[in-house]
Amino acid sequence: MERMLRGQMMRVRLMIFDTHAHYNDEAFDEDRDELLAGMESAGVTGIVNMGASWRDVEESQLLAKRYPFLYAAAGIHPDHVGELNEEKLARLCELCRRPETVAVGEIGLDYYWDKESHELQKEWFVRQLRMAKEADLPVNIHSREAAQDTFDLMKAEHAGTTGGIIHCFSSSAQMALEYVKLGYYIGVGGVVTFKNARVMKEVAAAVPLDRIVVETDCPYLAPAPHRGKRNSSLYLPLVIEAIARIRGIEACEVEAVTYANARKVYRLDE
Ligand code: NI
């Protein structure tokens, strides 16, 4: 009887891991604490808050200290690499050794916004990849309109040594499988629920389930029917249901496997 009850409870209890969020964003200034305090009872029992600008890196650490289920990533987004210098890189290396820090991210290349020169973006991407390798931390990769350069640099520099997540994957299913071969996980978020998101749906179908993690990138990229509104980890069941529909399997299976994948890639069970 007890076992049966426990089985039922397990089916009801959601276990969701948001592998990429920005809860320090000003979009959450009004209700951040209220929202985060309700996460665990809503089934969201793991969140990794990303670094993007320097301020985000520091604020992620503060959030991670405050909420035991929230972890920090330390890294500078390609749009903000102009903020980096030797001193800040040394500080990032220091943060990588803290118990709150589970990854280096988000780092990569962005040729869409093109806020910094490609040369500068590549230089700091490589240096942050090396930092991750030295700290033995997984990476969280941002790549926009820069698929080939990102892949080439990662293959040359990293070749899957520390592993990590390719966030908001947008190039092609074929490229996603190349990253899987290198040992990476593919982050699937709200875009998979958009009607016109052909590539993301192909990716969600083609990548083995044991290589998929879910993410929000909140406050951005809210899934349908909330598209355009503020996103949060509470909307992740919509992403999980979309992946399940595309693959023709149960949502609870997607939820359980992506949860385990997230803990594995961020090495939370070691
Ligand atoms: Ni992001």
How many angstroms separate the alpha carbon of residue 222 from the centre of ligand 1?
13
**Backbone phi, psi, residue 182, to 5°:** -75, -10
How many angstroms separate the alpha carbon of residue 20 from the centre of ligand 1?
6
**pLDDT, tens only, 1-17:** 444 444 444 445 679 99
Q: Quote the pTM value.
A: 0.93
How many angstroms separate the alpha carbon of residue 239 from the centre of ligand 1?
16
Nearest to 115 by CA among 150, 144, 75: 144
How many angstroms separate the alpha carbon of residue 6 from the centre of ligand 1?
37
**pLDDT, tens only, 152-203:** 999 898 767 789 999 988 889 999 999 999 999 999 999 999 999 999 999 9
How many angstroms separate the alpha carbon of residue 107 from the centre of ligand 1?
9
Please state, in angstroms and rounded to a whole number, the distance separating the CA atoms of residues 191 and 144.
Answer: 14
How many angstroms separate the alpha carbon of residue 87 from the centre of ligand 1?
24
pLDDT mean across residues, the chain: 93
How many angstroms separate the alpha carbon of residue 26 from the centre of ligand 1?
14
Three-state SS string over 164-187 comes to EEECCCCCCHHHHHHHHHHCEEEE
